[in-house]
């Protein structure tokens, strides 16, 4: 279920693709992100960061949003600027703001005693310049910005 458009001039443009929320789609998702980063000349470190962020969001959508492989959509839209990429990530899973109860782990607690989960979302929030969630119609929408290497 991959669909999309791409309009990228040198260092700028709009890129959009829709993927089925299936584990086997993850290589296509990361290849698309890598192509966008290369076209945008984002730089190695920001490109790796963006790929990691999207892998985390996609995995969370599969596991927590859709409850496993699904034909449900995952949409990625990139607005490429001269010094940053703005990402809009959408899925049609039940409403959930992953950033609502975001808090860093208690460092005084041993790793074995900490609750499971939540670190991926914390990672996403820490690695992006701006992170926002909103429910748009029947979609979860996460917007974030990653700055290009200087």
- 23 is written with which tokens? 């584990």
Q: How many CB atoms lie within 10 A of CB 136?
A: 9
Domain ranges of the chain: 3-147
Its sign, for the CA torsion 31, 37, 40, 43, is negative
Q: What's the average pLDDT block by block, 10 residues per block, for the chain (150 residues)? A: 48 88 97 92 87 91 94 96 90 89 53 47 65 94 84
pTM of the model: 0.80
CATH architecture of 3-147: 2-Layer Sandwich (3.30)
Check residue 98 and report its DSSP letter.
T
- 32 is written with which tokens? 């698309």
pLDDT of residue 107: 54
pLDDT of residue 84: 86
């Amino acid at each position: 279920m991959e669909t999309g458009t791409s309009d990228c001039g040198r260092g700028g443009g709009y890129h959009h693709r829709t993927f089925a929320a299936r584990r086997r789609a993850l290589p296509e998702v990361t290849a698309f992100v890598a192509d966008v980063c290369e076209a945008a000349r984002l730089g190695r470190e920001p490109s790796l960061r963006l790929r990691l962020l999207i892998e985390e969001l996609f995995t969370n959508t599969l596991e927590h949003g859709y409850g496993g492989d699904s034909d449900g959509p995952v949409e990625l839209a990139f607005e490429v600027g001269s010094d940053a990429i703005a990402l809009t990530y959408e899925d049609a899973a039940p409403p959930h703001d992953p950033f609502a109860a975001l808090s860093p782990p208690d460092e005084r607690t041993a790793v074995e005693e900490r609750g499971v989960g939540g670190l991926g979302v914390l990672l996403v929030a820490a690695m992006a310049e701006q992170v926002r969630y909103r429910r748009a119609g029947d979609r979860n929408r996460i917007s974030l910005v990653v700055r290009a290497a200087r």
